[in-house]
A and B are shown apart, each in its own frame.
Chain A
Amino acid sequence: MTDLSFVRSDMLPERAPPANEVGMVKWLRTNLFSTWANSLLTIAAFYVIYLVLANVLPWFSGGVWTTSSLSECREVLQGEVGGCFSVLTERWNQLIYGFKYPVDLYWRPNIALLLLAFAAAPVLFFDLPRKLLLFTAIYPFVAYWLIWGGPIGVPVTAFVGILGAYLVFERFNAANFAAAGLAAVAVAFSLWFIGGYLVDMLASDDPLLTPVASRDLGGFMLNLMLGVTCVSLSIPLGIALALGRQSNLPLIKGVCVIFIEFIRGVPLITLLFVASVMLAYFFPPDATVDLFLRVVIMITLFSSAYIAEVIRGGLAALPKGQYEAADSLGLDYPQAMRFIILPQALKISIPGIVNVAVGLFKDTTLVSVISMFDLVGMIRGPILASQEWNGVYWELLGFAALLFFVVCYGISQYSQWLERRLRTDHR
């Protein structure tokens, strides 16, 4: 044996990779400057970012927050670049609550909003204890009472009616679904009927919370209220419509198809016109249903049609086997739907429903067209028309855009998170 060998028997020490293949440089090269076209794009992008920042940053940093009119702003700025953000501080209350909600009652919508977080939490996050849903069930009535005030008997009666209906339904549901449903409706209406008398009789002239008329609502609060109310009302309606559209009873199917296609075929604004100029003719001659409620009705119908289509997608995505399995277990239609089909279909539909909800929330700004003073309506009407703030466009529109962006982006991030959650559940 000699010590001659053609194969190296010991490893060379590792060498560091070339400088342009590691760290920042490597990252820049692959992600920003891989080809000359890419480099051009990068430079163009940098230029765009620079342009935006160069215009927006001085405007922010030079902003004025404490004056009481645009002309004062201009005096303070002396021709320097800067936003007149004072309009936001000075008109803050109007932007958020509208110009007619009594100032000393602002705490009521504030509490309602805070409670909304607690009520929505168990719906949005499945890990929370299910018992919290009890609060969610009570919340609408509490929120109604907080925001509108008036005799407490009204929301209590409403709650008792629904509670009674629920108890009756649960009691008889095992025997016959349809009968239980009819009984529940009957119970609810009779409770409301009795309650209506009681409320009228017991209503004192000086209720605990001062009543506020719904046309006094306004600002971003109005957008939030319309959004939350209409989405929550339209989900049950949407489920019913989706089931109706899948039904094999031709009459019910036909009615649902016509309704859904009709609503989806017309713009929301025409439906709002219906609410503002036409719907009043369809109510009994002596009943006055206020504009807020008419708008809630129309927006709810609008979004329920879209939600129905999302849920129909969910129903269609379920394998046929699920339906057959339910049949073979001897479940009747309501049972099969409640225990087998809907839980799965709704789960698939949740991201779609959230998308509809985001779209709907954005669409609540359309009410400004029919002279309701929501956030956009406040800006376009009373604030921009006032002597002090005529001409303050960007601060106000930017603020409105920011508020909507925060809420909508938040919801869509939640929806994506949920989608990931639900996907892992399947594996």
Chain B
Amino acid sequence: MYHMTSMTDPHQGQFRLSMLFNDTRYRSLTYQAIAAILLALAIWYLANNLVQNLRTAGLNISFDFLRDSAGYDINQRLIEYDSQSTHARAAIVGILNTLLVSFLACITATIFGVIAGVLRLSNNWLVSKLMSVYVEIFRNIPVLIWIIIIFTIMTAVMPAPRAFRGDTPEATMLLDMFAFTNRGVYIPGPYFTAPLFASAFLNWVLVLAVLAGSLFATRRMARWATGVQEQTGVRPTTWYFTLAMWIVPVGLLLMVMGLAWEIPALKGFNFKGGIKIGGALIALWFALSIYTGAFIAENVRAGIQAISKGQTEAAGALGLRPRRTMNLVVLPQALRVIIPPLISHYLNITKNSSLAIAVGYADVTATLGGITLNQTGRAIECVLLLMAFYLTISLLISVGMNFYNKSVKLEER
């Protein structure tokens, strides 16, 4: 940016003290030396205070507590965990929960955002106004309030499981399969009656592997079709092969393993069986989606509006049909504008998911930065680990974003 490029002759004669500040050869070193000293002083001051405070309080910094058994239970977990597991494992359960809610919210926020952004440009006056109202309302109210509002809907409006009991229950299950309660939504869960592996996880990995195989095969087929088209000018009809490649192998596998659905049913205090999506997860997921969706809608709108009309017209003049114009001309340019802020919104979702603590969702802030911190009293260690986790995620996303930005960078002049 700003370069001091003075072209004066080099100084002759002996060194004077004022040259430290006035001579460009020394000045930058002087300033940096001053900055380094100030910085070192500040760090020394803080570290000294820390050491002194810890000594007075008789505490030490140690991460050994991570190996101790945690002693508390977690209601939402993606991996095996019980109260005898270690604090480190509790932290990992939390990390996975953070990633889960962030991932779900990123997908739905994108869907909401794209729909709202496109509809906002609709020539239907009413719809575009309605979408503006959506965007303005959700952008201008704190996400914490949204999380609490949706969580309140989940807990205060939905019926309690006991409302489903009795001969004339106050609430009934939707289609006898889905139960909406104030503790969460229960949906049928798939399981295998004749699994190939003992672990359910491995069975699902097998299903995924077969799907990946189908993807690979369809890709190969598409490439072959393109090759034929380039040679002969006629593209062979392949859609029924593709469809079969997707359905048949996976269908066979599921049939062999005996896929069945477990329907949730009221047993004791709660619904049992099937998959439970906890109220806290739904509140957090939905609130983050609609809140961030409003921001994404603005990006999408800006991205589409940023493509000048001349581009569409030029494509038309070249004889491209509207669909190809969209795919080949408008979208690639609009995405260049949309994607960088989109990724930073994904990052925001991940960071905002830490508000889980307000609704009791067991994310990493709630396990490592909440219960573990409380139970062990290791405040400094826990907060440091927590920050390190978020920092890692955000650095990974930044690296990804930089990579993307480089790949789509406009090569000008």
Contacts and interface: CB of A to CB of B under 8 A. Distances in A.
Direct contact of A and B (CB under 8 A): yes
Nearest to A252: B35
A366 B355 contact: yes
Contacts of A358: 140
Nearest to A281: B53
A31 B127 CA distance: 10
Interface string B40-68: 00000010011011101000000000000
A46 B49 CA distance: 63
A285 B123 contact: no
Interface stretch (B1-9, B185-193, B332-340): B1-9
B171 interface: no
A400 interface: yes
**Interface footprint category on B:** 35 or more
Contact of B148 (A323, A341, A380): A380
A215 to B, nearest CB: 20
A58 B370 CA distance: 42
B36 interface: yes
A120 interface: no
Given A278-B379, A333-B4, A397 B152 contact: yes
A7 B143 CA distance: 71
A409 B383 contact: no
Contacts of A274: 383
A376 B358 CA distance: 11
A369 B36 contact: no
A397 B147 CA distance: 11
Contacts of A285: 49, 52-53, 56
A248 B4 CA distance: 10
A248 B2 contact: yes
A285 B119 CA distance: 58
Interface string A245-259: 010111110010000
Contact of B358 (A250, A264, A369, A391): A369
A393 B46 CA distance: 44
A281 B365 CA distance: 21
B50 A251 contact: no
A376 B145 contact: yes
Interface stretch (B77-85, B202-210, B258-266, B384-392): B384-392
Contacts of A315: 1
B379 A277 contact: yes
Interface in A325-372: 326-327, 332-333, 336-337, 341, 358, 362-363, 365-366, 368-369
A356 to B, nearest CB: 13
A30 B142 CA distance: 37
Given A251-B32, A267-B354, A34 B145 contact: no
B108 interface: no
B293 to A, nearest CB: 16
B125 interface: yes
A387 interface: no
B302 interface: no
A327 B5 contact: yes
Interface in B374-413: 379-380, 383, 386-387, 390-391, 393-395, 398
Given A266-B351, A363-B142, A278 B383 contact: yes
Given A31-B123, A41-B127, A49-B130, A265 B144 contact: no
A138 to B, nearest CB: 30
A270 interface: yes
B386 A270 contact: yes
B200 interface: no
B64 to A, nearest CB: 19
B304 interface: no
Interface string A9-51: 0000000000000000000001110100010011001101100
Contacts, number: 172
Contacts of A267: 351-352, 354, 365, 390
Contacts of B255: none
Contacts of A48: 130
A363 B39 CA distance: 30
B200 to A, nearest CB: 33
B168 interface: no
A144 interface: no
Contacts of B54: 281
Contacts of B52: 284-285
B383 A273 contact: yes
Contacts of B36: 251
A261 to B, nearest CB: 8
A163 interface: no
Interface in B122-173: 122-127, 130, 136-137, 139-145, 148-149, 152, 156
Nearest to B142: A362
Interface in A399-427: 400-401, 404-405, 408-409, 412
Contacts of A401: 141, 145, 149
Nearest to A245: B1
Contacts of A246: 1-2
Contact of A366 (B32, B126, B144): B144
Contacts of B152: 393-394, 397
Most chain B Cβ neighbours within 10 Å, of A45, A255, A337? A45
A117 interface: no
B297 to A, nearest CB: 15
Interface in B10-56: 21, 28, 31-32, 35-36, 39, 46, 49-50, 52-54, 56
A282 to B, nearest CB: 5
A126 interface: no
A334 to B, nearest CB: 11
Contacts of A42: 124, 126-127
Contacts of B124: 31-32, 34, 38, 41-42, 45
B142 A365 contact: yes
Given A249-B31, A362-B143, A269 B355 contact: yes
B12 to A, nearest CB: 23
Given A278-B379, A282-B49, A45 B127 contact: yes
> Considering residues B28, B141, B355, B373, which has the most beta carbons from chain A within 10 angstroms of its beta carbon?
B141
Contacts of A333: 2, 4
Contact of B126 (A45, A284, A365): A45
B145 A365 contact: yes
B140 A412 contact: yes
Contacts of A265: 390-391, 393-395
B141 A405 contact: yes
Given A34-B123, A45-B126, A284-B49, A249 B32 contact: yes
20 contacts: A32-B125, A45-B130, A248-B3, A251-B35, A262-B391, A265-B395, A266-B386, A268-B351, A270-B383, A273-B383, A280-B53, A281-B54, A284-B52, A333-B4, A358-B140, A362-B142, A368-B358, A393-B156, A405-B140, A412-B136
Given A250-B32, A336-B2, 13 more contacts: A46-B126, A178-B21, A248-B1, A265-B391, A268-B351, A270-B354, A278-B380, A281-B50, A283-B49, A362-B141, A363-B142, A366-B144, A376-B148
Interface of A: 30-32, 34, 38, 41-42, 45-46, 48-49, 176, 178, 246, 248-252, 255, 261-262, 264-270, 273-274, 277-278, 280-285, 315, 323, 326-327, 332-333, 336-337, 341, 358, 362-363, 365-366, 368-369, 376, 380, 391, 393-394, 397, 400-401, 404-405, 408-409, 412
